[in-house]
Structure formats: C-alpha cells, structure tokens
Amino acid sequence: MKILILGGTGSIGSAVTAELVLGSHEVVGLCRSEASAQKLVALGARPWRGDLCQPETWQAALEGIDVVIQLASTFGPDMGEVDAQAVTAILEAARGRSQPLRVLYTGGCWLYGETGDLTASETSPQRPIPAFSWMQDSANRLLQGSNIACGVIHPAMVYHEDGGGVFSRMLSQAASGLPVEVWGSISTRWPLVHRRDLARAYRMLAEQPELTGHFNVSAQTGVAVREILGEISSRYAHDGSYVVRNRKHVMFKYGDWAEGPTLDQQMRADKIQAFCGWRPEIRDFTQAEF
Ligand SMILES: NC(=O)c1ccc[n+]([C@@H]2O[C@H](COP(=O)([O-])OP(=O)(O)OC[C@H]3O[C@@H](n4cnc5c(N)ncnc54)[C@H](OP(=O)(O)O)[C@@H]3O)[C@@H](O)[C@H]2O)c1
C-alpha cells in the first residue's frame, strides 16, 4: 500500500515508518528540514518537503495514497489549531476520491483521564486532560468524515531503547545520582507499551480495510511509578531516593501537558487483539532495553 505519514521522524513515527517499510509498504513522509528528510531516506521512506502548519504544502501528497497516518505534533501552544487544520486538509482530500481514504489518527491514554482502579477500554467515557482535549474533536471529525475509514489509536505511555521515551526524565536523574522527581504520587499507575509493539499496531491497523473506531494499545495495563523507579534504580546503581512533586507544581513548572504523567491510569487493549490479532512481544518493561 502507499502510505503517507505525518510525523514519521518522531519518537513514535520513526518506529512506525521503519515497520511500514519492513512490511513492504511504499511510505511517503512529511518533513520540514533537510535533517528530517535524510532520516526518512535512511528509514526507507520517500521524503515530502512541507510544513504541518501549512497544509497547502503537503495536501497534494495525499493524492493516490491508500492510508494517511497522523503522528505529527508541534507540541506548542498552537498544537490543537495546527492539528485541526491538518484534519481539515485530510477531510477535503477524502471527499474527491473514488475509494474511501484510510486514516490512522493518534490520540493517547490521557484522553481517558484518571481511571484509578477502573480500567479504560474503548467504550469508557473520555475525560481528556485540557491540554489535549482538542484531540477528541479532531478524532470525532475524522470518525464522522465522509469517504473516510478512520481508526483512532490511543497509545499507552511509550518507552523505547533510544533514550527511554516516557522514562527519559527519570533515567537521566537516576544516572546523575540525584533523587528522582516523582510527579503526582509514587503509587500512580501508567499503562505502558514498547515503541516496537506500538509500531506493529499501526502497521496491522493500516492493513485493515474495515477500519473504524477507537483502538487502545497497551502491553501492561497499569504499572506503578514505584515499580518503574525500582527497575531504573537497579539498572543505574541509584539508591532509589525520590522527591514527590504534586500536580500543581509540575504543571506550573513544565506546562499543562505535565498533568498527563500525574494521572493514575489503567488501560487495556482487548479490542485491537480481537480485531487484527495484535499481541505485544514485550509484555513486561523490566525485560526490555531502555
Ligand atoms: N510518546 C508517548 O508516550 C505518546 C503517548 C500517547 C500519544 N502520543 C502522541 O503521539 C504523537 C507523536 O508523539 P511523539 O512522542 O512521537 O512526538 P515527537 O517525537 O515530538 O514527534 C513529533 C513529530 O512531528 C513532526 N513535526 C512537528 N512539527 C512539524 C511541522 N511543523 N511540520 C512537519 N512535521 C512536524 C516532527 O518532525 P521533525 O523531524 O521535523 O521534528 C516529528 O516527526 C503526539 O500527538 C503525541 O501526543 C505520544
């Protein structure tokens, strides 16, 4: 299939690009710099120079595409607006086609809000944290779009071998021997997935013609920060000391997005397993490289 990926050089996107190429798909990747273009070429994709913030620079790349994957984000104050414009461009491109356009849109576990002892499934009510509530609007517009087959993927907290992903802050603090900052509470649970398993989920869903609705992707339903810190401490010969920063403190210091890691969440991924047979290969983060 011919696939356009927005954000194909990012932390998640680079793994998805590699996985799609490995699956013999023809991948075109949006890029805004020479460095990103080279990264795409190295991954086996064809670069398309343009800017996410200016859909007129990449809308033509949607012609003749079977699937478009949205994994790009500016993460700036304009991120919701930029995403909404990108969604509008995708909706417009789908209208004139003879075949429905398949779209994989990226949401995230933070759209479920704090679940506590409950476990979020795709039918659970969404209570997104304000910093990312725009994702819900974009997802709904795509799900209701005409001539579109849309899957909305909700990745758990994503870790990987190249800097740690969601573990990166704790890893660098542990490596420097300082007490590790714990955001919220040491008992806070994070649903987890390794980037390689997540990339496989994107590829497997992209290959499904009857794509529709929400798909959670987690390998571990909810792992307490206490366990994550314990594992990191043992890997870095750190003494395990930590200092708790409350939600208000981290949001003031780092921005509204910092509410996300303070959420006590559990999320399961039964639907994608039944829908396309996806199974995580890494079921326990303590067995993974990061
Ligand atoms: N990481 C997680 O644990 C997690 C969990 C759930 C959901 N998500 C969601 O997944 C998505 C991707 O996250 P990520 O962690 O992979 O982010 P990331 O590493 O920061 O990647 C962002 C991507 O967007 C591209 N981009 C940004 N601004 C652009 C612009 N103006 N024009 C063209 N491309 C632009 C970047 O390209 P450059 O190469 O030019 O920088 C990069 O490829 C986000 O929506 C995030 O909220 C992430």
User: pLDDT tens, 153-162?
Assistant: 999 999 999 9
Measured in Å, residue 43 CA sits from the centre of ligand 1 at 17
Cβ neighbours for 226, distance < 8 A, ≥ 6 positions apart:
186, 187
- The atom number, within ligand 1, closest to the CA of 13 reads 16
Any idea of the CA torsion for 32, 33, 34, 35, to the nearest 10 degrees?
Answer: -110
The answer to whether residues 283 and 181 belong to one domain is no
- In DSSP terms, which residues pair with 27 in a beta bridge? 3
CATH number (domain holding residue 41): 3.40.50.720
Residue 91 CB neighbours (<10 A): 18
CA angle 91, 113, 106 (to 5 degrees): 30
Six-digit token string for 176: 């420097």
12 lines ligand 1 (CB under 6 A): yes
Six-digit token string for 108: 């995230």
The answer to whether residues 257 and 198 belong to one domain is no
**Residue 275 carries which DSSP code?**
H
What's the pLDDT score for residue 233? 96
The number of folded domains in the chain is: 2
Residue 181 CB neighbours (<10 A): 15
The answer to whether residues 173 and 251 belong to one domain is yes
Model confidence at 96: pLDDT above 90: no
The answer to whether residues 202 and 248 belong to one domain is no
What's the pLDDT score for residue 248? 98
- The atom number, within ligand 1, closest to the CA of 72 reads 24
Over residues 58-64, mean pLDDT:
97
**Tens of pLDDT, residues 244-290:** 999 999 999 999 999 999 999 999 999 999 999 999 999 999 999 99
14 lines ligand 1 (CB under 6 A): no
Model confidence at 72: pLDDT above 90: yes
Measured in Å, residue 9 CA sits from the centre of ligand 1 at 8
Does residue 52 contact residue 82 with C-beta atoms inside 8 Å? yes
The answer to whether residues 122 and 84 belong to one domain is yes
Compute the distance between CA of residue 264 and CA of residue 223 in angstroms, rounded to an integer.
Answer: 10
Over residues 189-194, mean pLDDT:
98
Which pTM value belongs to this model? Answer: 0.98
The answer to whether residues 281 and 171 belong to one domain is no
Measured in Å, residue 6 CA sits from the centre of ligand 1 at 9
The answer to whether residues 172 and 253 belong to one domain is yes
The answer to whether residues 89 and 27 belong to one domain is yes
Detail the DSSP E strand segments found in the chain: 2-6, 26-31, 46-49, 67-70, 101-106, 148-155, 157-159, 180-183, 189-194, 213-217, 220-224, 242-245
**Tens of pLDDT, residues 194-253:** 999 999 999 999 999 899 999 999 999 999 999 999 999 999 999 999 999 999 999 999
The answer to whether residues 18 and 154 belong to one domain is yes
Over residues 113-132, mean pLDDT:
98
The answer to whether residues 6 and 148 belong to one domain is yes
State the residue range of the domain holding 232: 165-188+223-261
155 lines ligand 1 (CB under 6 A): yes
Please compute, for residue 154, the number of CA atoms within 13 A of its CA located in the half-sphere on the CB side: 30
The answer to whether residues 235 and 91 belong to one domain is no
Compute the distance between CA of residue 113 and CA of residue 266 in angstroms, rounded to an integer.
Answer: 10
Measured in Å, residue 71 CA sits from the centre of ligand 1 at 6
The answer to whether residues 243 and 173 belong to one domain is yes
CA 180 to chain CA mean position, Å? 25
Please tell me the residue having the least CA distance from ligand 1 atom 7: 108
Compute the distance between CA of residue 85 and CA of residue 256 in angstroms, rounded to an integer.
Answer: 22
State the average pLDDT for the chain. Answer: 97
